[in-house]
Amino acid sequence: MDMPAKPKKKLGLKERYAVMTRGLGWEPSYQDIDDIFSMDSFEGIKIHDWDAWEDPFRLTMDSYWKYQAEKERKLYAIIDAFAQSNGHLTVSDPRYINTVKMFVNGFAPLEYMSHRGFAHIGRQFRGVGPRVACMMQSLDEMRHAQTQVHAISNYNKYYSGMENFRHHHDYLPYLQVPKSFFEDAATGGPFEFITAIGFSFEYVLTNLVFVPFISGAAYNGDMGAMTFGFSAQSDEARHMTLGLEVIKFMLEQDPDNVPIVQKWLNKWTWRGVRVLTLVAMMQDYMLPKRVMSWAEAWEIYFEENCGALFRDLERYGIVMPPCVEQVRKERDHLSHMAWCQFYQARGTSNFHVWLPSEEDMDWLSQKYPDTFDQYYRPRFEEWRRMEEAGTPFETTGINMQCQVCQIPMFFTEPGDPTRLAQHHCHHEGEQYHFCSQWCQEIFEDEPEKYIQSAIAGHDVFKGKAIRPEADPTAEDFNPAAEALAFWKLENGRDNGLHYGSQDERNFSMWRGLASSNS
Amino acid sequence: MPVNAVADYDFPANDREENFHGARVIYAGWDKHLMFSSPYAWPLPPDLPFAHFLAGPLAEAFGQHPDFAKIDWSQAIWTKNGEAFSPDLDKTIAENGLIHKDSLRFETPGLDGIGGQFI
């Protein structure tokens, strides 16, 4: 048989894209398509034409590998250089390292959960276009988790609070806030998950996360963290576009989808902002060299950018989530309330805290002229007096927590910063408490889900914070010490005050050795 | 509205009283004293006299505040889940009608935190 001598024509970009994305799908012949994709209809979202999906990126798998490999090479070269040149000693101030601890414990595991979530929905959507896009996002998220852990491992060699990040993410009380946020999303259906993570978190709120951490890293001389931020940035742009595309796709496919999408936007905007309380605090209190205040970031990234976005979605009948009114009222209080909480509950954290210095407080007064001096400065000054008197204020009590966001109930009434807010309801003979009207509404929409919340403080009371080898019936059994052991917190090393901590002392000693001969 | 789910969705509440080994969870917060960032929670035996709750767990949580020693408990104004509540200090948690996960708040007239600043 003669072989044709003429080589095959190379595919054009458009054909190549078609073959390598939608061309990968097929019509099933011996299985019902509803059995194969059994999860993309139960949420009530109606899709009439999956082919109407416009892929915003037209990225194929082969070019995906190529791009990512290139970025990876650059990133790891910098991470290696950081390690070899003792980059951890070039950061602005040892306090900065606590933001790195919060990042690897609170955020990197969320990237991994996001990887799992997108892998799941990349299997569940019956449209080939969104499936391929979700698969790529799933790979991105896994890569982000890995590169973050690798970049931060340079700090883990020298400082405490990072070596148990997986265990801490699963059990340490404050980390149950981000963890339960993601579990809530991942236990919704595929459309709710992508609205929660792809849209509300990645699109609406992502800049409020990235600016403080990545610009914060850059401002504070952390080349390693800054580089993974830049390495992730082009992926984030793709994720944001995917999130927006999915929202528009749902809204365009059927008018019945509009109220469902609106409900999710309301819920996940609020859930997202509640989780960002940690970021607001980091931005205003934990960065030795600050980028901008939380209030300023909110104005730029939410009010301006997202305001325009919601105006754009108005043509589909979507309105700004009503909770935004309360977020605006809390804007000038959020970070202060959170730092007050972390300062006093410092025994159960895996990073160190400190009181703001005079200079810090002057910056805070300037950024928060209507709230800081009136409500928060006097508290810090009182605690300063107590520290100086040798009786530093610390609480060992277990906080009451919100049933939905799981944050200790430290939020004040919107409009009355002197009174803590509490909301309450009954469901099937049990009672539940909430930090806000919005968390309560989320509960009341799906009480069957939130009655299962694992509230960290309650778990201690139930005896769940006990190692298998411990004997709670022993005469000398100390439940508080046992809880720390169960959480893998080394008391006095991993937790407590920054000044005088082992990390602070080591940093100063090593930096001295690096910059002098004695 | 019930949860939309792919299968039957019926799970027991995670924090039922029976899971607390005979104790019931009670919360309490001290109004106008924001040095304490939030109310606290305790697993209390239902037969604990209310006065013992005040002298024990509550004092341990709030006692570091200089106002605490000055409290006249006969003047304290209590609420339970937002409604007026008058505890009898000699009666127990159960006899005072407190049930699992009740949330108490108390105000101490004349004591408004350090410098009267709600700290």
pLDDT at site A2: 64
Calpha distance A144→A236 (Å, rounded): 10
Residues of B in contact with A466 (CB under 8 A): none
A451 and A439 in contact (C-beta within 8 Å)? no
Residues of B in contact with A400 (CB under 8 A): 27, 29, 38-41, 103
Closest to A487 measured CA to CA, from A257, A161, A35? A161
Q: Is residue A45 domain-resident?
A: no
pLDDT at site A468: 94
Residues of A in contact with B114 (CB under 8 A): 378, 382
Calpha distance A466→A487 (Å, rounded): 9
Which stretch of A66-80, A209-223, B60-74 has the lowest confidence by average pLDDT?
A209-223
Q: Is the pLDDT of residue A24 over 90?
A: no
pLDDT at site A445: 97
pLDDT at site A223: 84
Which residues between 48 and 87 in chain B have a beta carbon less than 8 angstroms from any beta carbon of chain A? Answer: 60-61, 64, 81-82
Q: Is the pLDDT of residue A313 over 70?
A: yes
Calpha distance A56→A25 (Å, rounded): 19
Closest to A68 measured CA to CA, from A300, A280, A256, A232? A232
Calpha distance A213→A103 (Å, rounded): 8
Residue A87 belongs to domain spanning? 51-511
Structure tokens at B3: 């949860």
- Alpha helical stretches, state H, chain B: 50-53, 59-62
Closest to A88 measured CA to CA, from A507, A504, A502, A493? A507
Which one of A398, A422, A446 has the shortest CB-CB distance to B40?
A398
- Residue A204 — φ and ψ, nearest 5°? -75, -40
**B35: CATH:** 3.10.20.560
pLDDT at site A392: 96
**CB proximity A178 to B under 8 Å:** no
Which stretch of A7-11, A455-459, B66-70 has the lowest confidence by average pLDDT?
A7-11
pLDDT at site A17: 86
Cα angle A482, A484, A485 (rounded to 5 degrees) comes to 65
**CB proximity A410 to B under 8 Å:** yes
pLDDT at site A513: 86
CA distances from A178 to A102, A107, A185, A210, A405 (A): 11, 8, 11, 16, 9
**Three-state secondary structure string covering A368-406:** CCCCHHHHHHHHHHHHHHHHHCCCCCCCCCEECECCCCC
**Is the CB of B2 less than 8 angstroms away from the CB of A448?**
yes
Q: Is residue A121 domain-resident?
A: yes
Which one of A382, A428, A448 has the shortest CB-CB distance to B114?
A382
- Residue A427 — φ and ψ, nearest 5°? -145, 120
**Is the CB of A38 less than 8 angstroms away from the CB of B39?**
no
Average pLDDT over residues A386-392: 96
Q: Is the pLDDT of residue A1 over 60?
A: no
pLDDT at site A205: 79
For residue B108, name the pLDDT band (cuts at 50, 70, 90).
very high
For residue A5, name the pLDDT band (cuts at 50, 70, 90).
low
Cα angle A346, A351, A352 (rounded to 5 degrees) comes to 65
Instruction: Measure B66 CA to nearest chain A CA, in Å.
Output: 11
**What's chain B's average pLDDT?**
96
pLDDT at site A518: 61
Q: Is residue B67 domain-resident?
A: yes
Domains in chain B, number: 1
State yes or no: ipTM above 0.95.
yes
Calpha distance B105→A433 (Å, rounded): 13
**A208: CATH:** 1.10.620.20
Chains A–B, number of C-beta pairs less than 8 Å apart: 139
Q: Is residue B9 domain-resident?
A: no
Q: Is residue B2 domain-resident?
A: no
For residue A174, name the pLDDT band (cuts at 50, 70, 90).
very high
Closest to A195 measured CA to CA, from A180, A207, A205? A205
Domains in chain A, number: 1
Q: Is the pLDDT of residue A4 over 70?
A: no
**Is the CB of B25 less than 8 angstroms away from the CB of A458?**
yes
pLDDT at site A514: 73
Instruction: Measure B65 CA to nearest chain A CA, in Å.
Output: 9
Calpha distance A453→A406 (Å, rounded): 8
Beta strand B77-80 with B40-44: parallel, antiparallel or unpaired?
unpaired
Structure tokens at A509: 């000693």
A221 and A153 in contact (C-beta within 8 Å)? no
Residues of B in contact with A418 (CB under 8 A): 32, 34, 118
| Side chain identity at residue A44, one-letter code | G
- What secondary structure does DSSP assign to A73-101, as a single string? HHHHHHHHHHHHTTGGGGSS-GGGHHHHH
pLDDT at site A138: 96
Average pLDDT over residues A149-159: 95
**What's chain A's average pLDDT?**
93
Calpha distance B30→B72 (Å, rounded): 14
For residue A3, name the pLDDT band (cuts at 50, 70, 90).
low
- Alpha helical stretches, state H, A291-333: 294-297, 307-313, 324-330
Q: Is the pLDDT of residue A57 over 80?
A: no
Closest to A353 measured CA to CA, from A285, A409, A408? A285
On the 0-12 / 13-18 / 19+ scale of CB atoms within 10 A, A320 is middle
CA distances from A303 to A58, A211, A247 (A): 31, 15, 20
**CB proximity B7 to A under 8 Å:** no
**Is the CB of A451 less than 8 angstroms away from the CB of B13?**
yes
Cα angle A461, A465, A468 (rounded to 5 degrees) comes to 130
Which residues between 291 and 320 in chain A have a beta carbon less than 8 angstroms from any beta carbon of chain B? Answer: none
> In chain A, what percentage of residues exceed pLDDT 90?
80
Q: Give all strands (DSSP E) within A206-248, no chain letters.
A: none
Residue B33 belongs to domain spanning? 21-116
For residue B117, name the pLDDT band (cuts at 50, 70, 90).
very high
**CB proximity B25 to A under 8 Å:** yes
| Side chain identity at residue B55, one-letter code | A
Chain centre distance of CA A253? 30
Which stretch of A83-87, A174-178, B65-69 has the lowest confidence by average pLDDT?
A83-87
Residues belonging to chain A? 518
Element (H, E) at A412: strand A412-413
